[in-house]
Amino acid sequence: MAATAARIADTAASAPMPAPAHRAAQPDDQIVLLDHADWSDYERLLEIRGESAVPRLTFIDGVLELMTPSRYHEFDKTTLGRLIEAWALEMDLAIAGFGSWTIKSTLAKRGAEPDECYLLEPIETESSRPDIAIEVVRTSGGLNKLEVYRALEVPEVWFWQQERLQFYGLEGEQYQRLQRSGKLPQLDPALIESCMGAPTQTEAIRKLSGINSGRPSKRSPLVSIFKIEARDKGPHFVAS
């Protein structure tokens, strides 16, 4: 692998990750790194791929990453997103989810597609970047996503890795590790983590609702969830 790719490899995920026993036999995501790519290569691949959800494309410093997520990656992504949206409903918080929104900057020559991302109140649907980008990490050796998101000025990035939620907030020009989300400080990461091991999304939401049943809820009877689907990459809104 060329030095450029090695220099920007994701150090947080560069070492082999021990898999939980019940997931030891699950396949990894498929990641391909292309050195000596330029911005026009990235934009051309985006055009060729069109509205398909895969491969997910990331570009930084002349290296193009193509990632095809495994079914288990997609399961974790879907479960996490639904838990966040169910929690927001319980808390009566308006959030707007935009899935794997292609976030890119021609000036910075950076581009990324998170597993999930959200805009928070006040929701500005014309924004060029989300308030929160979420990455599911199951395979080592990918690009340094924090460096990509830093150049794209995404305020907060969450990682789901090794059965834990990790939060990073952009302070000045660098990300700082956070104990909790700065954007959604009410969210207890231990609550989400405890529900992520459920075998289905239905069970995960049921467990979340059961835990929250003993807590005060801000939800009013008029709160509802609105979703707008546009194929695999379409936005969906969660609002009161």
- Helices 189-196, 201-212: crossing angle, 10 deg rounding: 140
Q: Region 96-107: what's the mean pLDDT?
A: 95
68 membership: H or E segment, kind and range: strand 63-68
Those residues with Cβ within 8 angstroms of residue 88's Cβ, 6 or more apart along the chain or in another chain:
94, 95, 238
Contact 43, 105 (CB under 8 A): no
Instruction: Please name the residue that has the structure tokens 């974790």.
Output: 76
pLDDT number for residue 63: 97
Whole-number pLDDT of residue 192: 97
Mean of per-residue pLDDT scores for the chain: 83
Domain boundaries, the chain: 3-238
Question: What's 78-110 look like in SS3?
Answer: HHHHHHHHHHHHHHCCCEEECCCCCEEECCCCE
Angle 83-167-170 from CA coordinates, rounded to 5°: 130
Fold assignment, 3-238: tt1808, chain A (3.90.1570)
- CA 139-144-146 angle, to 5 degrees, is 115
Model pTM above 0.75: yes
Residues 190-202 pLDDT 10s:
999 999 999 999 9
pLDDT of residue 218: 56
Helix ranges, 118-188 (H):
145-152
25-62 per-position pLDDT tens digit: 567 899 999 999 999 999 999 999 998 889 999 999 99
Asked if residues 99 and 116 have their Cβ atoms less than 8 Å apart, the reply is yes
Contact 154, 133 (CB under 8 A): yes
